Amino acid sequence: MSLELYLRDGVYWFRGRIADGDNYQRRSLRTSDEAIAQAKVRAIEAAARKRSILGPDAPKIEDELTFSAAVKDYRNGGREAIYLRSLVHKIGNKRVRDITPRFVRQLGAEMMPYASTETWQREIVSPVRSVINSAHELGKCAPIRIKRYTEAEMVKQDVFRGKQSRVPKKAGSWPWLLAFMGAAEPRYAALAYFMFRHGYRLSQSISMTRKRDLDLTAGRVRVHASKGHPAHWVELDPEEVVMIANLPVPYRGKAKDRVFTIAGGRSGALYVRWKAICAAAGIEYLPPHSSGRHGYATEMVVRQHGKVDLIAAAEDKWSDPGVMLKTYSHSEDGKARVRDAFRAGKEAARTLSVQPKTRGARR
**Residue 363 belongs to some domain of the structure:** no
Residue 339 lies in a domain: no
Based on the domain organization, do 125 and 7 belong to the same domain?
Answer: no
- Assess whether 235 and 322 both reside in one domain: yes
Q: What are phi and psi of 225, to 5 degrees?
A: -65, 145
* Total domain count, the chain: 3
Q: For residue 351, what are the CA distances in angstroms to 220, 281, 324, 344?
A: 57, 48, 40, 11
Residue 8, domain member (yes or no): yes
Asked whether 165 and 323 are in contact (CB, 8 A), the reply is: no
User: Are residues 245 and 113 part of one domain?
Assistant: no
Which CATH number does the domain housing residue 254 bear?
A: 1.10.443.10
- Write b or e for each residue in 168-191: b if 16 or more Cβ atoms lie within 10 A of its Cβ, otherwise e: ebbbbbeebbebbbebbeebbbbb
Q: State the pLDDT at residue 120.
A: 96
Give the residue numbers spanning the domain of 8: 2-59
Instruction: Please report, rounded to a whole number, the percentage of residues in the chain having pLDDT higher than 70.
Output: 82
The residue type of 163 is: K
**Dihedral angle at the C-alpha atoms of 326, 330, 332, 334, nearest 10 degrees?**
30
| Residue 335, domain member (yes or no) | no
pLDDT tens profile 220-270? 999 988 776 788 899 999 999 999 999 887 656 666 788 887 755 555 788
**Regions of the chain where pLDDT drops below 50:** 1, 58, 363
Distance CA(92)–CA(87), nearest Å, equals: 7
Domain assignment present for 293: yes
> pLDDT value at position 39?
80
The verdict on 215 and 119 lying in the same domain is no
Sheet with 232-235, edge to edge strand ranges: 214-215, 220-223, 232-235
Residues 212 and 308 in one domain: yes
Based on the fold, state whether residues 241 and 195 are members of the same structural domain. yes
Are residues 246 and 195 part of one domain?
Answer: yes
Residue 65: which residues within 8 A CB-CB, separation 6 or more?
95, 96, 97, 135, 140, 141
Q: How far apart are CA 180 and CA 279, in angstroms?
A: 9
Q: Please say which residue of 111, 131, 161 terminates a domain.
A: 161
Q: Please indicate, yes or no, whether residues 215 and 255 belong to a single structural domain of this protein.
A: yes
Distance separating alpha carbons of residues 308 and 314, to the nearest angstrom: 11
* pLDDT for the residue 336: 60
- Residues 297-306: pLDDT tens digits? 888 888 887 7
Q: In this predicted model, what pLDDT tens digit does every residue of 189-205 receive, in sequence order?
A: 999 999 999 999 898 89
pLDDT reported for residue 152: 94
One domain, residues 317 and 181: yes
**What pLDDT was estimated at residue 158?**
93
